[in-house]
Amino acid sequence: EIVLTQSPGTLSLSPGEGATLSCRASQSLSDRFLAWYQQRPGQAPRLLIYGASSRSAGTPDRFSGSGSGTEFTLNISRLEPEDFAVYYCQQYGDSPLYTFGQGTKLEVK
């Protein structure tokens, strides 16, 4: 089973700042099979990024994904109030044994 480790656990920033969230895989992910989700309180997760760097329909362009192998990053430029949420990465390279990271909480400083 591929284990995903997200860091930091909590990130405290102010609106307008940029955020960098990391996701490390215990094994290399073939074809960059990694997705990112945003979950606001009381809501279902929402797909932001798939294939490590492709934005899902409706994802603002201030969100960008990068990385390959075992190291992946989600960058959010110019944080908006609605961006403060929990973010999860998910690998599907070891399909069908999907796994999620434990999440990074992005909170207002």
The answer to the question of residue 9 lying near another protein (CB under 8 A) is: no
Which one of residues 102, 107, 108, 109 is an interface residue with another protein (CB under 8 A)?
102
The answer to the question of residue 68 lying near another protein (CB under 8 A) is: no
Which residues, numbered 48-67, are part of the site for another protein (CB under 8 A)? 50, 56
The answer to the question of residue 72 lying near another protein (CB under 8 A) is: no
Q: Pick between residue 45 and residue 67 the one whose CB is nearest to another protein.
A: 45
The answer to the question of residue 103 lying near another protein (CB under 8 A) is: yes
For residue 8, give both structure tokens: 């930091």
Name 96's Cβ contacts closer than 8 Å, sequence gap at least 6.
none
The answer to the question of residue 27 lying near another protein (CB under 8 A) is: no
The answer to the question of residue 45 lying near another protein (CB under 8 A) is: yes
The answer to the question of residue 88 lying near another protein (CB under 8 A) is: yes
